[in-house]
Structure 1
Amino acid sequence: MIFGGKQVAAPIRWAMVGGGRGSQIGYIHRCAALRDGNFALVAGVFDLDPERGRSFGVELGVEAVRCYPTYREMFAAEAEHPDGIQAVSVTTPNNTHYEITKAALEAGLHVVCEKPLTFTVAEAEALQALARAKDRVVGVTYGYSGHQMIEQARAMVAAGELGEIRLVNLQFAHGFHSAPVEEQNPAIRWRVDPRFAGPSYVLGDLATHPLYIAEVICPELRIKRLMCARQSFVRSRAPLEDNAVTLMEYEGGAFGTVWTSAVNAGSMHGQKVRIVGEKASIEWWDEHPNQLRFEVQDEPVRILERNMGYLHPAALAEDRIGAGHPEGLFEAWANLYDRFAVAMEATDQGDAERLSQIRYPDIAAGVEGVRWVANCVRSADSGGVWVDYV
């Protein structure tokens, strides 16, 4: 089925905090949110420099008077506007996520927040409680989870095609930061500074992506305890790591490994998710996101392709173009933004049934990502010991 229609009755009036001129992540958010007409960008705080932000916002088609100097001014002014914003995306450095998301929720807005959601579990849980009290949606941009073949993998595990799950093997290991590139690139520099990035670099920035995908594919698995070792091969990045290995024991006996690295020299991206069961295995690689490798013991390897009739209906629901045409990151993010839109509209309408039918990386996923990083850091900083998952 080729996906192409709007998912909500009227576009959700949407704003951005961050994502100004030259921001790669801001561009991805806008392309994803606006692709299917489910959001309309009507306001924003696009830059720390108000004039620069206003100029960029006007270039995007936002009225100059709705390009604000600060997020607090925007939330206050938009609350008085006859067509004020309903949702906001937070695309700023990590250290600002908590305060901006908190202020947005207090203003009665839905939120899409970059990960990690916060620095600490306590902060993340506070936002979760606030979102529940305000009955607002908080989406977290685990963007790779929007690829359709993730839905196919989830359906195959649920159907028992792999048998009992034994191993979860995850990696996100690229090589683009194998040298101290942050010395010349401010966009990378903040990511290796604890004041802005938080308690980790690659664990929070990279590892939480395949971790969430594994949670989507194998929702029944629960981490019992883990052990993590982390290194700073570019020594100026210490105490933040640019490489880490994590071992995980799941309740019920399954075992997991996560290799996360920004110094895997020569690797373009290196994000892979492999799920091993007693009968078969599946593997997804984000450099070939339209394919899912299916390996049954004693049978030839099968490569399942996107948009083919043999796939599970859930893996066909968001196709945008026919089989053989590659879809990529922008489509995956657009799929997530469409789900965010449906969740926001259903919440505003009090439609619990419709809301229950949509799955997206919500605030619970954001809390879990923060919790996982905190446990990894606790283990690594204690000498790489096993710690109970709390």
Structure 2
Amino acid sequence: MYYGEKRVENPIRWAMVGGGKGSQIGYIHRSSALRDYNFDLVAGAFDIDPVRGQEFGASLNVAPERCYSDYKTMFAAEAEREDGIQAVSIATPNFTHFEIAKAALQAGLHVYCEKPMCFSTAEAEELEALVKQTGKIMFVSYGYAGHQMIEQARQMIAKGELGKIRIVNMQFAHGFHNVAVEKNAASTAWRVDPKKAGPSYVLGDVGTHPLFLSEAMLPDLKIKRLMCSKQAFVESRKPLEDNAMTIMEYDNGAVGYLWSSCVNAGAMFGHKIRVVGELASVEWNAEFPNQLLYEVQGEPQHVLHRDMGYLTPQAVADDRIGAGHPEGLFEAWSNLYGRFAMAIEKTEKGETIDFWYPGVHAGVLGVKWVDKCVESAEQGAAWVDYE
């Protein structure tokens, strides 16, 4: 059980690029990072409009002289201060991620980046090489992985409680964009513009979330090849897709299925993952994040609940309140921001990081998966080798 004590000796001096007024994702980042006294928001380039950005920064109690017009100015100015920033979160549209993340790493900053990390596998690998070169920490924003029951599933699978893994069934298929909502919503319009969103819409926007959950639960399972069929049911979204089905074959003989969609009319969220082994299965649903289904062949269905004594120690370590009280997205993100802070401190002290997190390599794998899905779809849903 975690009671909110700081996890680092001194709060990390932290800034944001983007995430300004009206940004839902910006609020989630700030609420999660600031909750446990591990970060101190001291600077920001919050908006493409400098005046609006400074006004917003003032509402967050950021000093006016540290509310910058753009990220380049911020990185340069903060580098001259004895109390300059140590880390930055990037909460901007997809097409800006690569250049901002690269500049931040080159400026000696630790980075927490929204996904997808960039547009191409080549760019992603360049960032990974830069992380190794600079020795800095880079997190990718797969916030759902911070839920405790993901850790429980990871531990159960590692212990062999499911037996040999056969099937991984994943989806993130909501219905809120079943019509062209982007015509009246700027926050959605850029997501269907290839110049700003990259080579995909739902594959990169929602599909990579359950994909990373599978990587977190099954870290040793590797994709051998895949095939993908994608559609744009709302015609104006072409050449990007609003629906896709991907089939994957893994190196151990298992198969995976991932449905990515924003046109699943009537679905509130539709984000879940089921891992099927030869002995039993586990299933996690983001709409019921405090529970994990555990189904053993020939036995009644087991519903495991957060913060119960039958769970593994790793799964209860991040619980913030007793069983029965619901925890949600903000708590999950806070758990990951806590790991971000601890990873920064351990790195700067030269200590070994002894926990997993969605790092730069997870970002590489997500970008590569989207690239391969698009490659397959453009070949008429052909099988493509993953390596």
TM-score, normalised by the number of residues in structure 1: 0.99
Preserved contact between residue 115 and residue 366 of structure 1 (Cα < 8 Å):
yes
- 2:329 counterpart of 1:358: no
Which residue number in structure 2 is paired with residue 254 of structure 1? Answer: 254
Tell me the distance in 1 between the aligned counterparts of 2:2 and 2:27: 25
Give the stretch that moved more between structures: 299-308 or 343-352: 343-352
Preserved contact between residue 271 and residue 285 of structure 1 (Cα < 8 Å):
yes
Which residue number in structure 1 is paired with residue 104 of structure 2? Answer: 104
The one-letter amino acid of 2:331's match is E
The one-letter amino acid of 1:145's match is A
Which residue number in structure 2 is paired with residue 375 of structure 1? Answer: 372
Give the root-mean-square deviation of aligned CA atoms. 0.6
State the SS of the aligned residue for 2:336. helix
1:340-367 CA-partner distances (Å, limit 9, x unpaired): 0000111111112xx1x12110000000
1:142-186 CA-partner distances (Å, limit 9, x unpaired): 000000000000000011100000000000000000010000000
Which residue number in structure 2 is paired with residue 388 of structure 1? Answer: 385
Tell me the distance in 2 between the aligned counterparts of 1:359 and 1:320: 20
Alpha-carbon offset, residue 5 of structure 1? 1.5
The one-letter amino acid of 2:83's match is D
Alpha-carbon offset, residue 2 of structure 1? 3.7
State the SS of the aligned residue for 1:176. coil
Alpha-carbon offset, residue 3 of structure 1? 3.7
1:8-63 CA-partner distances (Å, limit 9, x unpaired): 00000000000000000000000000000100000000001101000100110100
State the SS of the aligned residue for 2:320. coil
- 2:73 counterpart of 1:73: yes
Which residue number in structure 1 is paired with residue 195 of structure 2? Answer: 195
The one-letter amino acid of 2:383's match is W
Structure 1 segments unaligned to the other structure (5+ residues): none
Tell me the distance in 2 between the aligned counterparts of 1:91 and 1:332: 18
1:180-203 CA-partner distances (Å, limit 9, x unpaired): 000000000000100100000000
The one-letter amino acid of 1:78's match is E
The one-letter amino acid of 1:378's match is E
Matched positions, count: 387
Which residue number in structure 1 is paired with residue 113 of structure 2? Answer: 113
The one-letter amino acid of 1:232's match is A
Tell me the distance in 2 between the aligned counterparts of 1:14 and 1:6: 15
State the SS of the aligned residue for 1:166. strand
Tell me the distance in 2 between the aligned counterparts of 1:164 and 1:48: 50
State the SS of the aligned residue for 2:318. coil
The one-letter amino acid of 2:172's match is F
Which residue number in structure 2 is paired with residue 125 of structure 1? Answer: 125
TM-score, normalised by the number of residues in structure 2: 0.99
State the SS of the aligned residue for 1:324. coil
| Change in 2 beyond 3 A, CA 1:389/1:105 | same
Q: Point out 4+ residue stretches in structure 1 off by more than 2 angstroms.
A: 1-4
The one-letter amino acid of 1:234's match is V
Which residue number in structure 1 is paired with residue 309 of structure 2? Answer: 309
- 1:43-82 correspondence to structure 2 within 5 Å: 43-82=43-82
- 1:1-390 correspondence to structure 2 within 5 Å: 1-352=1-352, 355=353, 357-390=354-387
Tell me the distance in 2 between the aligned counterparts of 1:131 and 1:158: 28
The one-letter amino acid of 1:302's match is H
The one-letter amino acid of 1:372's match is W
State the SS of the aligned residue for 1:144. helix
Preserved contact between residue 223 and residue 389 of structure 1 (Cα < 8 Å):
yes
Alpha-carbon offset, residue 116 of structure 1? 0.3
1:272-326 CA-partner distances (Å, limit 9, x unpaired): 1000000000000000000000000000000000000100011001001000000
